[in-house]
Amino acid sequence: MMKRLSLTNRVKLVLLAAAIGFGVAAPYIFSSFIVGLLSLALIAGLFAMSIDLLAGYAGLVTLGQAGISATASYGVGYMANKVGAGIPAQLLVGIAAGLVASAVFAAMAMRTGGVAFIMITLAQGMIVWGLSIRLYQITGAENGLTGIDRPAFVSEYWQYYYFVLTVVLICSFLLFIAVRSPFGSSIKGIRESESRMRMLGYNPALQKFYVFMVSGFFASVAGILFVYLNEFISPSAAYIAASAIGVLEAILGGIGTLIGPMIGAFIIVYIQNIVSTNLERWPTLMGLIFIVVILFARQGIVGAISSGWRRWLESRGPSGPGTAGRDPSDELALDSS
Partner 1 sequence: MTKRLMRTIAIVAVLALVLVACGTPGGDETTTTTAASGTTAAPTTTAAGDTTTTEAMMECTEPIKLGLLQPLTGGLAASGGDAKDGFELYWETNGLTAGGCDIEFRVVDTAGNPDTALQLVDELVDNYGADIIVGELLANVTLALADRLKDKDVIFMSPIGSADDLTQREVDTYPNFTRAGGWTSSQTSHVLGDWAYKEGYRNVATICTDYAFGHEMCGGFTQVFTEAGGTVVPAQQLWNPLGSTDLGTYVTQLDGFGVDAVFALQVGASVSDLLNNWTNFGLKDSLPMLGGEVMMDVSNVRNVPAEQVIGLISSGHWAEGLEAPATQDFVAAFDGAFDRIPSYYAAATWTAAQYIQESIEAMGGDISDRAATLDVMKGLALDTPFGPSVLDEYGNPIYDIYIRQIEERPDGRVWNVVIDTYEDIDQFWPKTAEEYLAQPVYSRDFQGNAGG
At its nearest, how many Å lie between partner 1 and the CB of residue 192?
Answer: 32
Measure the CA–CA gap between 148 and 275, rounded to whole angstroms.
Answer: 29
Nearer to partner 1 by Cβ, of 162 and 210: the residue is 162
Closest CA to 257 of 179, 204, 164, 191: 179
At its nearest, how many Å lie between partner 1 and the CB of residue 125?
Answer: 16
Contact flag: residue 66 with partner 1 (CB under 8 A): no
At its nearest, how many Å lie between partner 1 and the CB of residue 45?
Answer: 16
Contact flag: residue 76 with partner 1 (CB under 8 A): no
Measure the CA–CA gap between 219 and 44, rounded to whole angstroms.
Answer: 10
**How crowded is residue 152: how many other Cβ atoms within 10 Å of its Cβ?**
8
Contact flag: residue 337 with partner 1 (CB under 8 A): no
Q: Are 153 and 159 in contact (CB under 8 A)?
A: yes
Query: Using the rule CB under 8 A, which residue among 56, 77, 98, 144 binds partner 1?
Result: 144
Query: Using the rule CB under 8 A, which residue among 112, 186, 272, 307 binds partner 1?
Result: 272
Q: Which stretch binds partner 1 (CB under 8 A): 34-42, 90-98, 111-119, 293-301?
A: 34-42
Q: Would residue 326 be called left, alpha or beta, if left means φ above 0 and alpha means ψ between -120 and 50 degrees?
A: beta
CA distances for 215 relative to 2, 79, 327, 329, angstroms? 34, 24, 29, 25
Contact flag: residue 248 with partner 1 (CB under 8 A): no
Contact flag: residue 40 with partner 1 (CB under 8 A): yes
Contact flag: residue 84 with partner 1 (CB under 8 A): no
Contact flag: residue 290 with partner 1 (CB under 8 A): no
Strand extents, DSSP E, 126-210: none
Nearer to partner 1 by Cβ, of 34 and 89: the residue is 34
| Alpha helical stretches, state H, 32-113 | 32-52, 65-77, 87-109
How far does the chain reach from its first CA to its final CA, in angstroms? 27
Site residues, partner 1 (CB under 8 A): 1-2, 4-5, 10, 13-14, 17, 20-21, 24-25, 27-28, 31-33, 35-37, 40, 133, 136, 141-144, 146-147, 152-153, 155-159, 162, 230-232, 234, 236-237, 272-273, 276-277, 280-283
